[in-house]
Every structure is written in structure tokens, then in C-alpha cells.
Structure 1
Amino acid sequence: MATEADQGRTRVRPVDPRLVRYASASRAFFAAIAVIGALQTAVVVAFAWLLTRVITRAIDGMPWAELTTLLTALAAVITARALLLWAREALSARAAARVQAQLRAQLVDAVGILGPGWLAGRNSAQLAVTAGRGLEALDAYFGRYLPQLVLTVIATPVLVAVMWWQDWISGLTVLLTLPLIPLFMVLIGLATRTVQQKQWRTLGRLAARFADTVQGLSTLKVFGRQHRAVRSIEKVTDTYRVETMRVLRVSFLSGFALELLASISVAIVAVSIGFRLVDGSLALAVGLFVLLLAPEAYLPLRQVGVQFHAAAEGVAATDDVFAVLDEARELAAHAQRAPRTADAATVSAGPGRLVLTGLRVRRGDLLLPSVDLVAEPGTVTLIEGPSGAGKSSVFAALRGAVAFDGHAELDGTPVSALSPATWLAWAGQHPGLISGTIADNVALGDDETAAASRGPLVARALELAQAGALDPDQELGVQGAGLSGGQAQRVAVARAVFRHLRARAAVIALDEPSSALDAATEAALWRGIRDLADGGATVLLISHRRSAREIADRVVTLSATPAEVGA
């Protein structure tokens, strides 16, 4: 059964209902743009009527003084039309900005709900392109496409009704020829949607390829593969160019087809009016009034087809955003239906007794070795085992980054019912530093209102992590640029230590914290970790170093091989 997102990709819908569901700003926008559309329709009818009056009265020899009154009214109508166009543009720009902000905020919240395990299986570069350039493309969607769509719904029936009221033959002609435009719009829209989706996917691949190349450029240069990476990017870029040109070609052809249909339809109305004017069966005022309204009747629908192409990229991006939001919504709904033993928002860090019973992490089609351990406050539990045995995966399960079987409880509460931020301080094998000061990195996630009082704790955390010689005010670049590998690793450990010292986490989980350290620094780090445990912390430690056993109260060895799921 296809999901709602899949269905959105296979059929052309004027407006995705999920837009109204997820972006509350769009509701007020639709109401306001409908009012403007109704006023624009009235102005169009008034303009045609006044212009007809001016021309026919001038032919009849109306005095200039009386004609001036009509011309003044006509100028006022033209001014009103210009002001309504300006108001529509301003309203559309503001609504687009608000909707973009709302969807970006909800996208971030959705990623938080889905968790790091979901994010690990996604292309982060492509997701960034969607949240950035993709949502920015909504400017065209709100500024051009949606106003024309609303105007079509309001103006077209009114104009056809007015034409029918004045001249039923012309009204019937428009009514019979008008469906040809949406018919071709659907056919063209299907083709446009297909090529636009291909272009959007190619852009995502290009972003991912470029990000991977930049991140691994030093490795590529060492192995002499940088030129191959460049050629790969050039190939994807060329594919994107081809897809873009295909989108433009379809856009130009569709615009030509819609203009041709509208021109032929207006010509039919004009010829009909001309013949009847010649034989005297139609008055000049009526014929001219209807002829002025005929192009206006086709214009909104024609512009919807034209502007659909300009908005296609934003529509493609919102499909991806809505897919993520739908997935997060389903997960949240499932979590509400599932029985819970505790509320993550209300449970605070307890004493820190961690019990794992039969915990087995899923990795694709494999189940990693079962883990059983009890980690008490005031102890250091060392997890050992060969590479690939699943040591880091145990920490990933505790962080909610991967699915697992078995049980994991903190002070009697399943960890799945708790937010990791309420009980776990973690330092992984990759430091994960950000641009900013060292103090900002150590106190990451700390309450900003308490920033003035965190200085001593930051210094204490750096000292326990054997990074006391570093200046907390030192500015770091992207991904912690400015520190050596060992220094970055110790700052990451200090971040976990700081969280415990702040009483935000009862359990400290350190994954290979000494892998980049010399023997003397490693020994000092072990003493700092031992001091934390003696102070009441529950410490989980992963290390291949034999020296780690000297501070461990318990050693858990993983040696079994993974098993296939269902075996």
C-alpha cells in the first residue's frame, strides 16, 4: 500500500493538504489571498465595463466633461488593480517566509523525534539541501502559483457567469473551450513532475557527493584519487545540467501549448462576436465588454499552468519534508499508544543503576552478541572485545541510535522511556566538536542562563579529562579545527564529565577515550575517571588498552559472533 508521500509523487494535486496541516501560516494566507482574489475579479469586471463605456460613449460623441468622469473612474480602477497586485506580492512573500520557518522548525523537531538511528540511515547532505534551498523554493510556490490557483477558483467562474449573462453564446464558447486548458495542464504537469523529481534527486546526489569529497579530501590526495573524485562530481553535475535543461524544455513547451490554446479560444470568441456585430444581432457595447473579459477568463487558468513550473522545485522539496514529518507523526502516535512506565519529560537522573539483560543490537540483517551487565553507581564497568563484536553498538542502543532486543533499565525504568539527555553523558570515538570556544564545547547543551556560573565546572571537567592546559576561551573552527586529535578527544571527554558534574547525567559512557593519547596522559585520564566513579558516577568504559583493567570494577567481554535475524 502506497504511503501518502508516495501517492503525492504519482499524482498531481493542486495543493497538498499536508501543507495546511503542518504550516498554520498557510491557512491565514489562503483566506487573505481569497479576499484579494475576489477584489481583483471585481476590478477586472469594472475595468472592462468602464473601458467599454469610454469607447462606446466616445464613438457616440459624449461631451468631454462627462467623458472625463469615466476616465477618472477608469484610472481609479487601474490604480486599485495595481495596489491589489502589490498587496498580493507582499502577502505572498511574508507567508512564504513564515511557512519556510515553520516547516524548518518542524523538520528539526521531526529529526529529533525519529532519533539518531533514523538520521544515521539518511543522507544528511541531501536533507540539508531540502531544508535549505528546497524550502527557499517555496517563494515561487507562494508568490506565483498559489495566488494564481486561488484567483482561478474565484475569478474564472465569475467571469464566465458575467459573460454568459451578457452574451450566452460567448459564455457557452468559453465554457466549452476552457476545459481544454486544465486537460493539457494535467498531462503537462505529469511530465513536469517526473522530470522535476529526477532533477531534485540529482541535486541531492550532487550535494552528497560534494560533501563526501570535501570531508575526505586529505585521504583522497594521499591515495591519489582526488582526480577521480573530481571527475565523479563533474559527471553528476553534468547529469544535473541535463535534467535542468529537460525541465526548462518541458516548461517552455508547456507554456507555448497553453498560450496557443488560450489564443485560439479567444479567437473563436472574437470571430463569433465579429460576425454577430456585422449582422447587427449583437450590440457594440455588449460585444466589446464580452471581448475584453474573454482573455481575462482564460488568464488565471493559463497562469496556473505557467507558474506550476516555477513552483515545481518547491513542491518536490516539500514532498521530502512532508515524508519526514509524516514518519515522525506516525512514530509519535505509536509512542502515545504504547504503554509507558515513565514520562521522559518528568523523569530526572536517578542514582544510576544500569541493568542490561539480553541486549542484542540489530545491524541490518544481523543480531550482535547478547550483552548482560549490571553497572552500579560508584563503579567502572569495562566492556572489552574484538572489533566488530558490538561494543560501540551497546552505547548506540543506550543513546536510542539503534534498535535492539532485550531489556535495558536505569533504576528500574526502561531506557527507551527516557530521554538520553536526562541520564547519559557520552563521549564517542569521534569528538564531534563544533565551532566556538572550548568552554562552549565542554558545556554543550547546558542551560544558557547558568553560563556565568559554569566556569569552575568547565575548568574541573577539563582537568579530569587531562585537558587543563587548554584555554577555555580558545576559539575553534568547524569540527573543532585548531586542536590536535588527542586534544579534541580530551575535550569530548570533558564534555561528558561536565554533564555529570552538572548533575545532568548519572551514567558516563566513554568509547575509546584514550585511543589518541600517550601512555602517561592515558594513565592520568584513568585516574580522573576513577575519581569520578569514586564520587558516585556510574561509568561505562570501552577500551582496547590493557591498562583500563586497572581501574575497572567489572569487565564484560564480548566475543560471540553476530547471528542472522530469524536464525
Structure 2
Amino acid sequence: MPDETEPRQPPVDPRLWRYAAASRSFFVVIALLSLLQTAVIVGFAFFTTRAIVDAIAGADLAGTLLALAGIVVARSVLALIRERVAARASARVESQLRAAVLDGVAQLGPEWTASRSTSHLALVAGRGLDALEPYVGRYLPQLVQTVIATPILVAAMWSADAISGLTVLLTLPLIPIFMILIGLATRSVQRRQWETLTRLATRFSETVQGLSTLTVFGRQRRAADAIERVTDDYRRETMTVLRVSFLSGFALEFLASISVAIVAVAIGFRLIDGSLTLSVGLFVLLLAPEAFLPLRQVGVQFHAASEGVAATRDVFAVLDDAAAASADIAPAPAPTGTDHVLRVRDVRVRDLPPVTLDARSGEIVLIEGPSGAGKSSLLHALLGFAPATGRIEFDGVAASSLAPSAWLGWAGQRAGLAAGTVAENIRLGDDDMPERTVREALALVGLGALDPARMLGVQGAGLSGGQAQRVAVARALARHLRGHAPVLALDEPSAALDADAEAHLWRSLRQVADAGALIVLVSHRESARGIADRVVRLSGAEVTA
């Protein structure tokens, strides 16, 4: 049974028009094409009837056959044009929605992202939007065709023969009624299929990320078995959707066939008793299947687009959250000036004690304390990665209204490197960064001999742990050297370094701070105190500066 608490999704979600501008013109073009196709259908029935009647009467068929040939060609051309328009429009809508989703995720920020499954977001932006192709390219055009063609065809039949028109008008509602019943029965099935796919993607992503740990503890086989179980669940859900699709298709075809048969039998009896002429009876009989065809095709295309229909809910949920966030937070200008001030007032992350501090350009503020005291959590609050109470201001502007990239350079405990060259990793977010800046940043962290063109594998494979950590610090320093990050937030930047490499890094950070940077440094190393202008000590009970 479907979930009665689940909101019913309309045939065309109006948010599609709002978030994908290409869909608006697409509907207009499809409506015009549907109108022309309907006119061609009526013309085909008319000229076919005329050709048969004239042939029986022995009249000249040349003009009629020529017109009929033109109708056939026009119908084929219009069908081809519609397919191409639908394909191009679906590609444009998919591209616009994908860009909107990525922009929305970026606008919502790391705090929102941290509360979601990244594998689910990747699935929505990838497979979910790919699944919109049959929804936009086939289901929606067929829906427009049905809305336009069905009333015109019924009206044409009624104008030729009121009894046949009334028969179609009475039997036609049976198809949408059964479509609604089938839709109610299959909605939960379609949703379960999408949720199972989401669970599979999440499980696989988590298993790959923790594979080394699972291997050490001998649990890799159990993880593989769990993936196999979810995969089997997805297979069963997919087969259920297919079974429902085939059964519903059969039901719709059966209803349409019975309805057309009723019209045909009535016409046959009336032709026999002479109350209906051959020309009228044949014309109506040719239009009867065409009147039922659009509704039948809507049902078929709806099931073909079922995955896209389920995915739209998650796609639009992301976009709605982004729209709500943009309405709540007014955009703030990027900070200017050379002397910057960072104020943290009673900032509390989770149940940790509140933190208050002031810092200016040219200072290094060292955050230290035992594990679990909230050192990294404070940096995450600065970055917007973690929800926090209190207020964080940069140059008098609430940090929550500024994109972190507008004022912060960050290097976390995990290097966060990607496949590509060393230079590409340092230039992340700044493709115009000159090579001299890349080399200067590498030299500051003690990697002056490292070739910027060196290729790295996934997650920076090819570098040692210490090298990867220093490349991440170099990336933050490079942003500062480019004038994009007056504040540097560094989380345990020397954790994987030996004493000599650490001493070199501390000297460089002191040099960068003396040149005007404001550095918030988290470190458990006692040697970090030697370069700090101020030490903020975090503990489980209090904060001392």
C-alpha cells in the first residue's frame, strides 16, 4: 500500500519551470507541435476515408492520394521534429538542473552538506538527473500531447457522429481512473526502488572509504556481503517496478481495446441498418484508436520515467533548501582592506564550552588543548562546517554571510588532495594562479624541490603523508599570497612532519604572519608556542587565553 502521509506529486511539478528555464520554451514548442500533429491525424482520417469512399464510387483518386501522401510525410516529419526537440530540451533541462543543484549545494555550505550523505548527493546530481531524460524527453511531451489532442479528437468525432462521440466520452475516463489507481499502487514501489539505490550507493561509498580498516579487522567479507544484500534488494525492487509496469500497460491496452471495440460494434450495426453512412462511420472508426492512444502512451511513458519521477523529489528538495537559505541570508560584500579583525564571541559548538577571542592581521593565534576539547570544532565553526551558537565576525561582518573562500585559507588534518598534478591541487579554485605563486607556496612549506607538474593519484597517492600534508598547507598559503585569504586556518599542519620539517614550517608561518596574515593555528606540538602571539587553551570545562 502507498504511504498515505507522503505528499502526492503532481504530473508536472511547477518547480521544474522555476529551476530550469529551458522547460518553459520547451512546453510552448511541444504544445505547438502537438496541435499540428493532431491536425495531421484528423487530416489523415479524413483523406483516408475519402480515398476509400471514392474508390468504391469509382471516382478519380489522384488528388486525394496526393493529399494523403503529403499528410503521411507531414506526420513523419512532425514526429521527427518532436523527438529532436524533446532530446535537446531534456539535455538542456538536465544541464540546468545539475548546475542549479551544484550551485545550491555550494550556497547551502559545508554545515548543510555535513548533515547529508555525500554519496546520496552524488547520486542525486548524477544518476538522479540522468534519469530525468525519459521524464522530460518522453513523459512530459506525451502529457502535453494528451491534453491537446484528446479533446480535439473527441470533438471531431462528436461533430461527425454524436453517438460515437458520446460513447468515447463515456468510456475515455476509464483509462485515467485506472491510471490513478495504478499510480497510487506503484508510487511507493517506485520510491522504494530509488531509496534502495541510494542505500546501495551510500553503503558502497562507506565500504570503499573504510576498506583498509575493515581489512585490518578482518571484516571486509562482511562488508561485501552487506553490499551484495542491498544489491539483491535493488534487483527485487527493480523487478517489482517492471512487473507493475507491464501489468499496468496490459490493463491500459485492454481498456482501450474494449472501448474502441464498443465504438466499432456500434458503428457496424448502424452501417448495417443504414442509419450511418460509410464515410462518417469510417472517419469516426479511424479516429477512435487515435483518441485513446495519447492516454495509453501517458501510462507507458510514466512507467518508463518512474526513476526520474522519484528522483525529482530529491533534486527539488536540494533546490528548495538553497532557495530558502538565499532568502534568509542577504549576500555580503567580500572584505576589503589590509588590516583585518576576527572576533569570536561566545561561540559554542555542541556541548563544548564557549570560546571568545579577538585577532588581527599579523598575529598567530594558537589553539591548543587535549583531544576532544573542541580545537578542530572551533575551526569548523569558522568555516561553517559545524553548527554553532554565538557570533563570528570578520571585519565587522557576520562570517555566516560570507563564503569561506572569500576570506579563509584552510588546511585540515586530512590533506584532501585529488588526482591530478601538484600544481592543480594547489590552484584549486584559482585556475589563473601563476606558476611562480605555486612554487613560492611549495618553498614556504619546505617542498621547493617538488615538481609542480608531478602527477598524483586518487587522494594524493604518490606522496608521503608528510608531503601530502604540506601540499595542503601550500594550497592555503597560495590563496593568501594571491590576496584571496587574509585569514589562514590550519589544523595540525605539522602532525606528520619530523622536527626539521616542522621547524621550517613554523618559520614560514611566522614570516607570512609578519607580512600581514592572520593565522589561527591548531596544534598539539609544544614547539608551536614559539611562533604564537597568543595561546587559547581549550579544555573540557573552560577556555583560557
Calculate the TM-score normalised by the size of structure 2. Answer: 0.96
Between 466-475 and 236-245, report the one with greater CA deviation.
Answer: 466-475
Name the residue aligned to 1:380.
364
- Counterpart CA distance in 1 for 2:23 and 2:42 is 28
Q: Is the contact made by 2:342 and 2:392 (CA closer than 8 Å) also made in structure 1?
A: yes
Secondary structure of the corresponding residue to residue 519 of structure 2: strand
Query: Structure 1 residue aligned with 2:459, among 479, 482, 492?
Result: 479
Secondary structure of the corresponding residue to residue 361 of structure 2: coil
Deviation of the 1:350 alpha carbon: 4.4
AA matched with 1:14? P
Q: Deviations over 1:196-225 (max 9, x none)?
A: 111001111111111122222222222211
Name the residue aligned to 2:438.
458
Q: Deviations over 1:223-278 (max 9, x none)?
A: 21111111011000000000000000110110011001101100110111111111
Name the residue aligned to 1:168.
162
Deviation of the 1:74 alpha carbon: 1.1
Query: Structure 1 residue aligned with 2:393, among 399, 409, 413?
Result: 409
Deviation of the 1:484 alpha carbon: 1.2
Query: Structure 2 residue aligned with 1:443, among 394, 402, 427?
Result: 427
- Counterpart CA distance in 1 for 2:301 and 2:44 is 25
- Counterpart CA distance in 1 for 2:401 and 2:156 is 63
Deviation of the 1:507 alpha carbon: 1.2
Q: Deviations over 1:440-489 (max 9, x none)?
A: 2122222x3x44xx222221211111222211111112221211111100
Unmatched 5+ stretches in structure 1: 1-5, 337-342, 563-567
Query: Structure 2 residue aligned with 1:47, among 38, 44, 47?
Result: 44
1:360 aligns with 2:360: no
Q: Deviations over 1:46-103 (max 9, x none)?
A: 11111111111111222xxx21321221111111111111001000000000000100
1:393 aligns with 2:372: no
1:241 aligns with 2:221: no
AA matched with 1:369? P
- Counterpart CA distance in 2 for 1:264 and 1:546 is 86
Q: Is the contact made by 2:338 and 2:516 (CA closer than 8 Å) also made in structure 1?
A: no
Name the residue aligned to 1:565.
none
Deviation of the 1:416 alpha carbon: 2.1
1:317 aligns with 2:303: no
Name the residue aligned to 1:339.
none
Secondary structure of the corresponding residue to residue 354 of structure 1: strand
Query: Structure 1 residue aligned with 2:10, among 9, 13, 26?
Result: 13
Name the residue aligned to 2:21.
24
Query: Structure 2 residue aligned with 1:38, among 35, 39, 43?
Result: 35
- Counterpart CA distance in 1 for 2:179 and 2:340 is 63
Secondary structure of the corresponding residue to residue 10 of structure 1: coil
Deviation of the 1:368 alpha carbon: 1.8
Between 17-26 and 139-148, report the one with greater CA deviation.
Answer: 139-148
1:539 aligns with 2:536: no
1:348 aligns with 2:336: yes
Name the residue aligned to 2:297.
303
AA matched with 2:461? A
- Counterpart CA distance in 2 for 1:57 and 1:8 is 61
Equivalent pairs counted in the alignment come to: 540
- Counterpart CA distance in 2 for 1:31 and 1:410 is 49
Calculate the TM-score normalised by the size of structure 1. Answer: 0.92
AA matched with 1:440? E
- Counterpart CA distance in 1 for 2:338 and 2:263 is 80
Deviation of the 1:7 alpha carbon: 10
Name the residue aligned to 1:200.
194
- Counterpart CA distance in 2 for 1:35 and 1:437 is 51
Q: Deviations over 1:516-563 (max 9, x none)?
A: 11122112211111211222211111111111112212111111259x
Query: Structure 1 residue aligned with 2:481, among 488, 501, 506?
Result: 501
Q: Is the contact made by 1:9 and 1:319 (CA closer than 8 Å) also made in structure 2?
A: no
- Counterpart CA distance in 2 for 1:7 and 1:422 is 46
1:91 aligns with 2:85: yes
Query: Structure 1 residue aligned with 2:447, among 467, 480, 501?
Result: 467
Query: Structure 1 residue aligned with 2:491, among 506, 511, 515?
Result: 511
Name the residue aligned to 1:217.
211
- Counterpart CA distance in 2 for 1:13 and 1:425 is 45
Q: Is the contact made by 1:350 and 1:411 (CA closer than 8 Å) also made in structure 2?
A: no
Name the residue aligned to 2:327.
333
Q: Is the contact made by 1:273 and 1:282 (CA closer than 8 Å) also made in structure 2?
A: yes
AA matched with 1:356? V
1:114-129 equivalences in 2 (<5 Å): 114-129=108-123
Unmatched 5+ stretches in structure 2: none
- Counterpart CA distance in 2 for 1:219 and 1:45 is 69
Deviation of the 1:513 alpha carbon: 0.4
- Counterpart CA distance in 1 for 2:173 and 2:395 is 68
Between 244-253 and 468-477, report the one with greater CA deviation.
Answer: 468-477
Between 158-167 and 525-534, report the one with greater CA deviation.
Answer: 525-534
Query: Structure 1 residue aligned with 2:506, among 504, 511, 526?
Result: 526
AA matched with 2:521? L
Secondary structure of the corresponding residue to residue 305 of structure 2: helix
- Counterpart CA distance in 1 for 2:333 and 2:85 is 39
- Counterpart CA distance in 2 for 1:523 and 1:347 is 32
Secondary structure of the corresponding residue to residue 377 of structure 2: helix
Q: Is the contact made by 2:329 and 2:401 (CA closer than 8 Å) also made in structure 1?
A: no
CA gap 1:375/1:287 in 2 versus in 1, 3 angstroms: same
Q: Deviations over 1:174-217 (max 9, x none)?
A: 00111111011111112222111110011111111111222222
AA matched with 2:531? I
Deviation of the 1:330 alpha carbon: 0.9
Secondary structure of the corresponding residue to residue 329 of structure 2: helix
- Counterpart CA distance in 1 for 2:328 and 2:393 is 21
- Counterpart CA distance in 2 for 1:470 and 1:125 is 33
